[in-house]
Amino acid sequence: MPLQAQPNVHQQHMYQKGVKHMCDKGLTQVPNKYILPEPERPHNLVADGCISLPIINFAQLQGSDRPRVLASLSKACQEFGFFQLINHGIGDETIGKMIDVSKRFFELPFEERQRYMSSDLHAPVRYGTSFNQNNDKVFCWRDFLKLSCHPMQDYASFWPSSPLDLRESMGAYSTNIQHLYERVMEAVLESLGVTHETTLYEQGNQLMVVNCYPACPQPQLTLGLPPHSDYGLLTLLLQDQVEGLQIQHKGKWVTVKPIPNSFVVNIGDQFEIFSNGRYKSVVHRAVVNSMRSRLSVASLHSLNANFNVTPSPILIDESNPRLYRDTNYADFVDYLSSSDFKCKRFLESRKLQ
Ligand code: OGA
Ligand code: NI
């Protein structure tokens, strides 16, 4: 009964503590705070409409097959905005330790995790829940830990000091991912015919987001993450074996089939703008399920906050007019705080005409 009643002050407080905390107290129904209006609910949870993303073999990209792989990469970025990166060279042990310590972080007593809660979007470490817990009318079924990562020496001392091995395991993983990201960006740019743009990624930001989606008693009523596109240049996502990521493809929501130890890579808004619309920043979301909790780790790479992103002049000519205005991080923050953004996207606000 209390969980279905209108929220009072005490219950709002409970939602702010996160989904894991609420579930640990026992729950058989989804509280109203998490119930989406009918049209926004996920109508296909899993199974039907499962797709395999185009596969890019990173090892092949380094050899004589590079031109062929670049062609597949270009096709994937235009048609899906997503691809699955295999043979990336990051060791199982580096990945395993990072996942293991992430799980143990969410198992810490709430009081310990709470030390890292912050409503400051610029804090180098943020533990929290939902999408934007200060604005969201309906909450999503997700808790998160966000860590600023690059350059590491500026940030690691802010990261949680427990579990004791968190800094070391997260540090090793995020450094490896940053290196991989730079090689992937190099290839993605080359596939567009743009070279000598190393400043685009060498001075960028890296934000790691550990997403924790507890098992949900009524997964058809809520979402782990609402439909969104990623703001930055590229995202490298590690998902576990539990399905949950869905992308918009040919007007439908399709579930991305997990491939162990590979990364789901997607184009972000900044890259769509840079490519003048050739490569697509595609809307995606996360669904939850009643059987298993799910963990994913996204590494979000974006341009340094002081830089403007502008469509590359190389990609603009008479038959390809400029499609977007210049944009920077301040515009994005303004946008986030000004709208309740139900899938109205930041990118739309940047389009010319
Ligand atoms: C994200 C994201 C999807 C997932 O963190 O931006 O889209 O499957 N995550 O967790
Ligand atoms: Ni995303």
How confident is the model over 263-294, as pLDDT tens digits? Answer: 999 999 999 999 999 999 999 999 999 999 99
| Separation of CA 96 and ligand 2 centre (Å) | 22
Q: To test ligand 1's pocket by mutation, which of 130, 143, 146, 211 has the most ligand atoms within 8 angstroms of CB?
A: 211
pLDDT tens digit string along 87-129?
999 999 999 999 999 999 999 999 999 999 987 878 999 999 9
pLDDT above 60: residue 6: no
- Residues near ligand 1 (Cβ within 6 A): 209, 211, 225, 230, 237, 239, 244-245, 284, 286, 296, 298
* Angle between helices 66-79 and 166-191 in degrees, nearest 10: 100
For ligand 1, atom 5, name the residue with the nearest CA. 298
Domain ranges of the chain: 28-349
- Nearest residue to 142 via CA among 131, 158, 157, 127: 131
pLDDT above 80: residue 345: no
Residue 151: the pLDDT is: 84
Residue 9: the pLDDT is: 46
Residue 2: the pLDDT is: 46
pTM here is 0.93
Residue 348: the pLDDT is: 82
C-alpha span between 350 and 232 (Å, rounded): 14
> Does 28-349 carry CATH code 3.65.10.10?
no
Which ranges constitute the DSSP H helices of 226-301? 269-274
pLDDT above 60: residue 170: yes
Asked if 135 and 341 touch (Cβ cutoff 8 Å), the reply is no
- Given pLDDT bands bounded at 50, 70 and 90, which one contains residue 234? very high
Mean pLDDT of 63-82: 98
The residue with greater pLDDT, 8 or 198, is 198
The residue with greater pLDDT, 202 or 142, is 142
Residue 121: the pLDDT is: 78
